[in-house]
Amino acid sequence: MTRVLLIEDDGRYRDTLATLFSVTDGFQLVDAYPAAEPALDHARRALAADTRPWDVAVVDMNLPGMHGVEAIAALKAIFSELPILVLTVYEDPATVLRAVTAGADGYLLKHTHPRVLIEHLELILTGGAPLTPGVAATLLDLVRVHAPSPAGPPLELSRREGEVLQCLVDGLSYKQIAAELGIGIETVRSHIRRLYRKLQVHSVAEAVSRALREGLVR
């Protein structure tokens, strides 16, 4: 059972998502908060107790108090491997880039069909990086044209690391990468952990952004 954390200030939309998860096999909405602060308090208590209460988080951007971007960064600081999906009405380039840089693993808009939302949550749980077409186009434009390249020596990736990184850029999930390259899924995870360290990133979306920005893939 996939345990979901929801941070959404719109009560009616929060109830809509709660209903969706209640009728969807394999998913359970275990916590829903109208703001980031109580969710982060819960996360810190769980960390202190050496437990992880959620398998995936769904986070809105325009929250009361702490902004969604700050919430993503704070959640990642507590649970670095917690997949986070942004679900919002905002598609402007600045918000998209800030969310991805903060550690968001996917970015969808609230008009996404419920069935598609569930499919994207399943994708993010297997290492994919779901983006709506408009968001994907915005992100690719930003990282290819506008985002500055960090200073420092060029990165040295092994042939296999380069192949895995290309697969991530192509939008493949961990399982799909394993099938594409003829390797085990745990080997894929090991390569991706090394890529994260070398690229100094914390999510698939960040890895894709840096790979495109620095020309590490085609």
At 18 the pLDDT is 96
At 53 the pLDDT is 96
Structural domains of the chain in order of their starting residue, each with its CATH number: 2-143 (3.40.50.2300), 153-213 (1.10.10.10)
Span between the terminal Cα atoms of the chain, in Å: 38
At 143 the pLDDT is 57
pTM for this model (two decimals): 0.67
At 184 the pLDDT is 92
Q: Distance (Å, rounded) from C-alpha 95 to C-alpha 61?
A: 8
For the chain, which residues score pLDDT lower than 50? 145-148, 151
| pLDDT tens readout for residues 16-68 | 999 999 999 999 999 999 999 999 999 999 999 999 999 999 999 999 999 99
How far out from the chain centre does Cα 120 lie? 11
